[in-house]
Chain A
Amino acid sequence: AQRVTQPEKLLSVFKGAPVELKCNYSYSGSPELFWYVQYSRQRLQLLLRHISRESIKGFTADLNKGETSFHLKKPFAQEEDSAMYYCAQPPSGVLIFGQGTELSVKP
């Protein structure tokens, strides 16, 4: 079965520290990868897409086909970045999500 793996359930950093949330995917045929974010008491929302190569709220993600990874990075974490982050891929046209990583940014 196609899988998206997020190895860390919880990542805790201090404000201003760099952040890297890991994501590995198993289906190599699809170039489409996404990061979704869910802030406390809010709905799941799209953060960024590989295809658009954008930077949103200071976050970037680089596709590494050799390592089948799509890690999410931010050089300086802010307290408002605290949230659940989900990596997702549509191997058969439907998004498959990882288990999520909770990012906690402490003051």
Chain B
Amino acid sequence: DTGVSQDPRHKITKRGQNVTFRCDPISEHNRLYWYRQTLGQGPEFLTYFQNEAQLEKSRLLSDRFSAERPKGSFSTLEIQRTEQGDSAMYLCASSFVRGHTGYTFGSGTRLTVV
């Protein structure tokens, strides 16, 4: 297990197109998180899963965003009808249910909407 993997590393898309990102967490981790980070800001929480159940969604997550974690393994984050304001780094992290050991982050997917 090489840690949390995210794909793709970079994505450039035209406004109005749909994009999908993938995250493969550490296999032993039950929880999987999605964050968004823009320049000069800390990571902002979007949503998280415990196994296959999506337990919480931030108010930041508009209806254009949807996330899934089928079978409690990898997760996908889809953004429909992208807008320029969606340009950001999308980070995935995973952890055990009890997060005292902290989260392990992936390298992120950088989205640029042109």
Residues in B neighbouring A83, C-beta threshold 8 A = none
Total number of B residues with any Cβ neighbor in A under 8 Å = 21
| Mask: chain A, 66-93; 1 = CB below 8 Å from B; 0 = not | 0000000000000000000010101011
Task: Contacts A44-B43, A44-B91, A100-B42 given; indicate if A95 touches B99 (C-beta within 8 A).
Answer: yes
- A99, CB-defined interface residue at 8 Å: yes
Task: Contacts A49-B100, A51-B100, A95-B99 given; indicate if A43 touches B107 (C-beta within 8 A).
Answer: yes
- B25, CB-defined interface residue at 8 Å: no
Cα A4 to Cα B42 in complex, Å, equals 10
Cα A94 to Cα B100 in complex, Å, equals 11
Dominant secondary structure at the A interface: loop
Candidates A9, A49, A93, A96; contact of B102 at CB < 8 Å: A49
Cα A99 to Cα B100 in complex, Å, equals 21
27 A-B residue pairings within 8 Å (CB atoms): A6-B42, A9-B40, A32-B100, A43-B108, A44-B43, A44-B91, A44-B93, A44-B105, A46-B101, A46-B102, A46-B104, A49-B100, A49-B102, A86-B42, A86-B43, A92-B56, A93-B56, A94-B33, A94-B45, A94-B48, A94-B56, A95-B33, A96-B45, A97-B42, A98-B42, A99-B41, A100-B40
